[in-house]
């Protein structure tokens, strides 16, 4: 089910969303996720369960919607004055955040939803961060690999390892960054 986008800020729909998201975050902080139900969320958010079913379809879609909101980066990548160092710092932080307990839970929620819309958004947030780093390098007149290549050779291997049972350590992340940067030599 497609979740409505571009809500009018402060409108009724946006207020319902904010209230429901807040209720989900509070419930997840207080109890095991397997115990959380839509009627429980509705009660806490002050809406009817049918409002939630109408808007999100099912619990899994709602959890994915909340998770992707939390995965949205809340800061620009650190600007070190050098593209490789920027990418290195960003990739290390990304690997650390995504492989943490809460990071893994959020990725699992996003991927468990049938509708792929939140998974796409998640990849799009990541791409935007790399875009910022690439844009800065170009503004300095420095070479920087294509953003698609960075997604394939840095982001994808980090995410694959996290999802399929490995931990991408700092050395590994550094190797990935060094390799992709060498393609611009």
**128 or 153: CB nearest a copy of itself:** 153
Angle between helices 38-45 and 12-30 (to 10 degrees): 120
Alpha helices in the chain, H assignment, sequence order: 12-30, 38-45, 49-56, 59-71, 83-99, 101-112, 117-139, 147-150, 156-163, 170-182
Between CA 60 and CA 111 the distance in angstroms is 10
Tell me: does residue 102 bind a copy of itself (CB under 8 A): no
Tell me: does residue 1 bind a copy of itself (CB under 8 A): no
User: Taking the CB of residue 144, how many other CB atoms lie within 10 A of it?
Assistant: 22
Tell me: does residue 142 bind a copy of itself (CB under 8 A): no
Match 């800065």 to its residue by tokens: 136
Closest CA to 91 of 145, 159, 140, 139: 159
Which position among 120, 135, 146, 178 is part of the footprint of a copy of itself (CB under 8 A)? 120
How far is CA 35 from its chain centroid? 24
**82 or 153: CB nearest a copy of itself:** 153
Q: How far is the CB of 163 from a copy of itself (least distance, A)?
A: 6
Tell me: does residue 16 bind a copy of itself (CB under 8 A): no
Tell me: does residue 166 bind a copy of itself (CB under 8 A): yes
Total binding residues toward a copy of itself, as defined by CB under 8 A: 23
Tell me: does residue 155 bind a copy of itself (CB under 8 A): yes
**9 or 165: CB nearest a copy of itself:** 165
Checking phi first, is residue 135 left (phi over 0); if not, alpha (psi -120 to 50) or beta?
Answer: alpha
Between CA 113 and CA 17 the distance in angstroms is 18
Tell me: does residue 36 bind a copy of itself (CB under 8 A): no
Query: Taking contact as CB under 8 A, which single stretch among the options 23-31, 86-94, 133-141, 154-162 is the one that binds a copy of itself?
Result: 154-162
Tell me: does residue 157 bind a copy of itself (CB under 8 A): yes
Tell me: does residue 23 bind a copy of itself (CB under 8 A): no
Residues that bind a copy of itself in the complex, under the rule CB under 8 A:
108, 111-112, 116-117, 119-120, 122-123, 151-153, 155-157, 159-161, 163-166, 176
């Amino acid at each position: 089910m497609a979740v409505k986008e571009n809500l009018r800020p402060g409108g009724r729909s946006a207020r319902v969303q904010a209230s429901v998201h807040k209720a989900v975050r509070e419930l997840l902080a207080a109890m095991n996720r397997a115990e959380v139900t839509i009627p429980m969320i509705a009660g806490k958010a002050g809406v009817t369960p049918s409002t939630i079913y109408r808007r999100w379809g099912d619990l899994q879609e709602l959890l994915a919607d909340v998770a992707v909101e939390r995965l949205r980066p809340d800061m620009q990548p650190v600007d070190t004055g050098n593209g490789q160092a920027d990418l290195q710092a960003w990739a290390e932080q990304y690997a650390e955040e995504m492989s943490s307990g809460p990071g893994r839970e959020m990725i699992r929620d996003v991927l468990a939803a049938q509708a792929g819309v939140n998974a796409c958004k998640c990849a799009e947030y990541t791409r935007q961060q790399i875009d910022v780093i690439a844009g800065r390098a170009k503004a300095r007149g420095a070479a920087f690999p294509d953003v698609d290549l960075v997604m394939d050779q840095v982001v994808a291997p980090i995410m694959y390892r996290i999802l399929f049972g490995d931990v991408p350590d700092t050395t590994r992340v550094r190797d990935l960054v060094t390799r992709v940067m060498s393609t611009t030599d």
